[in-house]
Structure 1
Amino acid sequence: MIEDTKTGVWSVVGDTSLKGAFYQYQVTVYHPESKKVETLTTTDPYSLSLSVNSKYSQVVDLDDPATQPLNWENHSIPIVKNAEDNIFYETHIRDFSSDDLSLSEDDYRGKYKAFSEQNSEGIQHLKALQKAGLNNIHLLPTFDIATVNEQSSKVVSLSDTVENAKAKVCDIKPYIKLCTEKYDDKQTLKSLLSSFNVSGTEAQQVVSELREFDDYNWGYDPYHYTVPEGNYALNPQGISRLVEFREMVQSIHGLGFRVIMDVVYNHTHQSGLEPNAVLDKIVPNYYHRLHPITGAIEQSTCCDNTAVERVMMAKLMSDSLVVWARDYKIDGFRFDLMGHQSKAAMLAAREAVRAVDSDTYFYGEGWNFGEVANNSRFEQASQLNLGGTEIGTYSDRLRDAVRGGGNNTRDSQGIGNGLLMQPNERLSQTNSRQEYELRMDQLRIGLAGNLSTFPLKQQNGTQILGKDIPYGDQPTGYALDPADTINYVSKHDNQTLWDNSQYRLPFDVSTDNRVRMHLQSLSFILFAQGIPFLHMGSEFMRSKSYLRDSYDYGDWFNRVDFSKQNNYYNVGLPPADKDQDNWPLIKAVLKGHQGRDHVQAKHIEFSANVFEEMLALRMSSPLFRLTTANDIIEKVSFLNTQNEQLGLLVMKLDDTQGQVADDHVDSLMVIFNTKTEAQTFAYPGASEYQLHPIQQNSVDAVIKQSKADEKGFTVPALSSVVFIKY
């Protein structure tokens, strides 16, 4: 390679014989880790194709038909009119199909190919969700990651027999439980795990000891940013994985969804002279953020933090995003720990992507922590800084109001799991009243798009705005536009919504009411202004058996049953590494709930159907998806903020105010009743409303009991009801 001394760029020009060639770089460079000049062999950080396990880069032209499935260039991509019309469904590629027995080929489980099935249970469910209004599939990281062996013959799967699994691991780790205990060698690992006592520690021990050998990881461990991960391909070698990835994208588009990709530009898996380091071998100490005194690479994100404030790291991020948008037809991007990147770099990257895809959407985690906290290195891409940009950030405000504060605890509750209305034995109505009033105000601001300028109520002659409601030491409302806010109550991180609620709910709540409360928690995000974000399987009351962080704990804790028979609750204590300190509390709540926390197939089916109705309700009117802060301020109001009826939150969406958003609807009244008994909200004009047609025809017989008459609106217990006035 020859260096251009004016630009510092090294390049080589070859002939067509290089097409498809595998290559590496050999770099002679002084490396601060060894404090000497090293001759290092590494792959290309700008790789577009790779060999198995990323040992070699490959020369490839992404416009070559050999890298594309049939009709790739001409396939149609669904359009979403406004950013606020998006609904995101967070999906892990392996979770989607690892437990699906209806696939046409067993080999497709956990692979890109599962999304190209026609009639599998997973695909049928996606079709039902799309029909109801879901429009985006968000894929957890699917770029090249460093932590799963891409040679399927070398990894351990739940479908392996004990004998096969032993053959793969016992020479390397002879002292683990699988290799020292006498088990039936002919049974599968799944069968073995099923045989263990769910209150014991055996299942989590086996899963934990096998996790470095298994076929599972969330993928937040970047190796090469701009190549599809080979572990999800039937053939990970070279261009085959590119074709399979593109086929998946094409198939998801064909189902009627846009495709969002989870990206992780804030850190790399390794640095220095480590085997999986790439950037730091080519220009040591440049691509990573260094501690200003020690010079060590910062690791506040978990791993080796990159420095996107440096020109070439920002360029790498931007160039990579353009490839995904232009060459892989990715419709938007979710950024891991986006607050560790600068606002300027994010805005510049979005402009670069918009040049090839005008309707892309960016969102991510705008958390403020670590060495960059409080804009100490640059203006961060964080919650409080991104207001008005229409780069979305997750709102922990609405989340905590609904779920309760903290994780793995019984010491707090949220509006969605009994706060004040059904206190558990550690709480009381007396000490919960102040917390309840604050959470209700935080929830109202969340329902109003988390706007800093939203006028919530008058207090002592003063107008209280969204920014005036506290969230710890920060304002609750920080958005300036509804597209600034991503509303959620669960995602891959932390416990699932179901597990979080079982930690907190009173022991005497019936199974049916637990299901109703679960659905009500989801209704808060589906009926809120801003953009909803849904965790795959939450409509099935998905459980991870209380596991707090399932990133590398295999199919046993991460699977989803699209046949709707099982939510995989209480399949064994969660792994000790993450949750051993929580085992006593988990055992206590499991005992206290006395089986009322276990759902049956009928509950899962009911929940899935009501979830689809709520999706359809959201998409039935633009009033749920207003596109400007001014529209929200004009049309959205909360009617019981002064003389509050406990357990009742009343939101009016009034289209007689401001510019008309919905030609067919005069106004909507959305009433959330979190009490265990029906309540009536007195309202003079209630008789002009009727129960929304979708709920008139609901599978939920309880919802159908809702009434609008001269007395007001009557709403059943634990129900979120929409009334409509034409």
Structure 2
Amino acid sequence: MTGDNKFQAYLDQIDRITLLVPTSYHEGQIDFFVIKSTQIHETISIENVHELEGFIKYEGKVEGSIEIGQSYIICDNYGEKVPLQVGAVIRTKEFDERFYYNQNDLGAAFYSDHIMIKIWAPTASAVVLKLIHANSGKEELYVMARQRKGVWEKELPLDKEGYYYRFLIDVNGRTNEAVDPYAVAATANSEYGVLINLHTAYVHLHEKPPFLQPTDAVIYEMHVRDFSIHPSSGIENKGTYQAITESSGQPGKTTGLHYLKELGVTHLEFLPINDFGGVDELNPHASYNWGYNPLLFNVPEGSYSADPSNPATRIAEVKQLISTLHQQGFRVIIDVVYNHVFVREESPFEKIVPGYYFRHDEFGMPSNGTGVGNDFASERKMAQKFIIDSVLFWIKEYDVDGFRFDLMGILDIETMNIIRKKINEIDSTILVFGEGWDLNTPLPYNQKAIMANARQTPQIGYFNDRFRDSVKGST
């Protein structure tokens, strides 16, 4: 038999294996199969058989213990062997409970005498850290050690600061190369994460202006590039973070921040400023994008930076921007897009733990309530944790004052309420609101953060297009 018409074996529950057998392989007929590893050798009795188009599906229960992250071989009664792949088990509650990691140290952490790199990859059989010297391009490889809850770690000396890094993850019989989803700095166009101590991009933060009631907010939505790009804007560094705070008054007309002050604006709401696809950061004016193609959620977008090739520059620019806006009397809201990623198959989430971070329908296919090909599975513990960690990072590191959640109806009520609770522990004047439309995603209706469930999410606002249409007419 050729490799093309072998059967495939998947772990779909903690104790159940599914075989998908092409009808071209022994007419799809299998009598029994065996699971083998250094720890287990067990014959699996077939319990359920389903006929599919071109395939026959077999299901059997394993009596022994299967350790996710270890390698297993499945043999059939003809002697054919295939690797056991991690399947739908990763979308079970049992998997979530077994591998939920509740520490706040994923990514690259700097300590007084070392750097610690950690990545959550419970289904991986091996993880290698790849370092690239920023100037010479010399490559270094380090085997990472598996710890509890599927976390892999590697300690590095402090002289590795400034190096570029990626992970090589062995999972389901193949090696995927991925950027760290917890990266806080990146090279141009998101090719690598960068080991950067955020203290090197320190900016003195001005005290934010006082704000008492959410209903006092006058919010101005702003696209960083659009705000200054017009030839007559009177701004020098057009289309950049720096341009927003440039003095831009001109004889006979008011532009820039002066204009916004005249309007009585209290909050500037930036369209996404986290790292996104669709624009070449090294040639930013060649194409245009609103920013709803998220790549790295904790890295500032480089196409708005004066120097996208310097990972520290964009960090300092965003910090300086927010600090200056606070000094000028404005609070800052950022538009966050945790409901989807740009391209699921190329996302670090999918490469590191395939199938976990995204919702799938009853046929096992990725759901598409967002309309862009994937829905982030916020109800899963580590997906939820990532969103919460990211929100808190933007508050603690960048001092932002609010979050507008794009397509918030994709996210679940529990996640949004935890976010609100944790934000209140820091600063209850930080605004949280989003788009509460009911979208066609597998999340149960009563769990969706939508307008119809608004009573279940106190202190979270909803963009209401009915109000908008009443004021300005239907779109």
Q: TM-score if structure 2 supplies the norm length? A: 0.66
* 1:381 is aligned to 2:381: no
Q: Where do residues 180-195 of structure 1 align in structure 2 (5 Å cutoff)?
A: none
- Residue 214 of structure 2: aligned partner: 83
* Higher strand proportion: 2
Match of 2:423 among 350, 353, 371: 353
Q: Distance in 1 between matches of 2:314 and 2:189?
A: 12
> Using a 3 Å threshold, how does the CA distance of structure 1 residues 312 and 368 change in structure 2: closer, same or farther?
same
Q: Where do 5+ consecutive residues of structure 1 fail to align?
A: 31-36, 158-213, 408-726
The match for 1:135 is 266
2:241 counterpart residue number: 112
- Please tell me whether residue 391 in structure 1 is matched to residue 446 in structure 2: no
Offset, 1:114: 0.5
Q: What amino acid maps onto 1:368 in structure 2?
A: D
C-alpha distance in 2 between matches for 1:262 and 1:326: 17
Alignment partners' CA distance in 2, 1:19 and 1:358: 36
Q: Deviations over 1:394-430 (max 9, x none)?
A: 122222223444x4xxxxxxxxxxxxxxxxxxxxxxx
1:80-479 alignment, distance < 5 Å: 80-103=211-234, 105=236, 108-120=237-249, 124-152=255-283, 157=285, 214-237=286-309, 238-272=311-345, 274=346, 277-293=347-363, 295-303=364-372, 304-372=374-442, 375-376=444-445, 379-387=447-455, 389-405=458-474, 407=475
CA distance in 1, matches of 2:259, 2:288: 28
CA distance in 1, matches of 2:254, 2:368: 39
Taking structure 1 as reference, are residues 14 and 123 closer, same or farther at Cα in structure 2, changes over 3 Å only? Answer: farther
Q: Distance in 2 between matches of 1:402 and 1:285?
A: 43
Distance (whole Å) between structure 1 residues aligned to residue 471 and residue 233 of structure 2: 36
Answer whether contact 1:53 1:149 (CA < 8 A) is retained.
Answer: yes
Match of 1:39 in 2: 175
Instruction: Give distance in 2, aligned partners of 1:103 and 1:325.
Output: 32
1:612 alignment counterpart: none
Q: Is the 8 A contact 1:115 1:251 kept in 2?
A: no
Q: Does the Cα contact within 8 Å between 1:103 and 1:120 map onto a contact in 2?
A: yes
Deviations 1:430-451 (A, max 9, x none): xxxxxxxxxxxxxxxxxxxxxx
Alpha-carbon distance in 1 for matches of 2:458, 2:221 = 23
Match in the other structure for 1:53: 189
SS of the equivalent of 1:292 reads: coil
Equivalent residues, number? 328
**Partners of 1:80 and 1:402 in 2: CA distance:** 26
Say which structure is richer in helix: 1
Whichever residue aligns with residue 390 of structure 1, its letter is Q
Aligned to 2:22: none
Take 2:188 and 2:249, find their aligned partners in 1: how far apart are those partners?
29
**C-alpha distance after superposition, 1:594-633 (max 9, x if no partner):** xxxxxxxxxxxxxxxxxxxxxxxxxxxxxxxxxxxxxxxx
The structure that has the greater radius of gyration is: 1
CA deviation map 1:163-212 (0-9, x unaligned): xxxxxxxxxxxxxxxxxxxxxxxxxxxxxxxxxxxxxxxxxxxxxxxxxx
Q: CA separation in 2, counterparts of 1:220 and 1:15?
A: 37
Provide the C-alpha distance between the structure 1 equivalents of 2:262 and 2:337, rounded to a whole number of angstroms: 31
More contact order relative to length (CA 8 Å, sep ≥ 6): 1
Divergent runs of 4+, >4 A? 120-125
The 1:231–1:384 alpha-carbon spacing in structure 2 relative to 1, beyond 3 Å, is: same
How far apart in 2 are the matches of 1:351 and 1:59?
31
Give the alignment of 1:566-581 within 5 angstroms.
none
Distance in 2, Cα, partners of 1:138 & 1:95 = 13
In 2, Cα distance between equivalents of 1:390 and 1:352:
12
- Give the SS at the match of 1:363: strand
Contact 2:360 2:442 in 1 (8 A): no
Residue 13 in structure 1 maps to residue 147 in structure 2: no
Conserved 8 A contact 1:115-1:123: no
Distance 1:54 1:94 in 2: 19
Partner-residue secondary structure (3-state), 1:227: strand
Structure-2 separation of matches of 1:128 and 1:311: 44
In the other structure, the counterpart of 1:498 is none
For residues 354 and 57 of structure 1, the distance between their equivalents in structure 2, rounded to whole angstroms, comes to 31
Deviation at 1:349, TM superposition (A): 1.6
Q: 1:44 to 1:218 in 2, by over 3 A?
A: same
Q: Which residue of 2 aligns with 1:531?
A: none
Q: Is the 8 A contact 1:138 1:262 kept in 2?
A: yes
Distance 1:110 1:287, change over 3 A: same
Deviation at 1:4, TM superposition (A): 4.4
> Which residue in 2 is equivalent to 1:23?
165
1:143/1:225 contact within 8 Å kept: yes
Alignment partners' CA distance in 1, 2:232 and 2:244: 14
> Offset at 1:236?
1.0
After TM superposition, give the deviation of residue 131 of structure 1 in Å.
4.8
Deviations 1:644-700 (A, max 9, x none): xxxxxxxxxxxxxxxxxxxxxxxxxxxxxxxxxxxxxxxxxxxxxxxxxxxxxxxxx
CA distance in 2, matches of 1:334, 1:264: 9
* SS of aligned partner of 1:7: helix
Q: How does 1:464-503 map to 2 (within 5 A)?
A: none
Counterpart of 1:220, as a letter, is: Y
Residue 61 (structure 1) shift: 2.3
Contact 1:20 1:60 in 2 (8 A): yes
Residues 208-231 of structure 1 deviation map (CA, whole Å, 9 limit, x = unaligned): xxxxxx331001111001110001
8 Å contact kept, 2:248–2:257: no
TM-score normalised by length of structure 1: 0.43
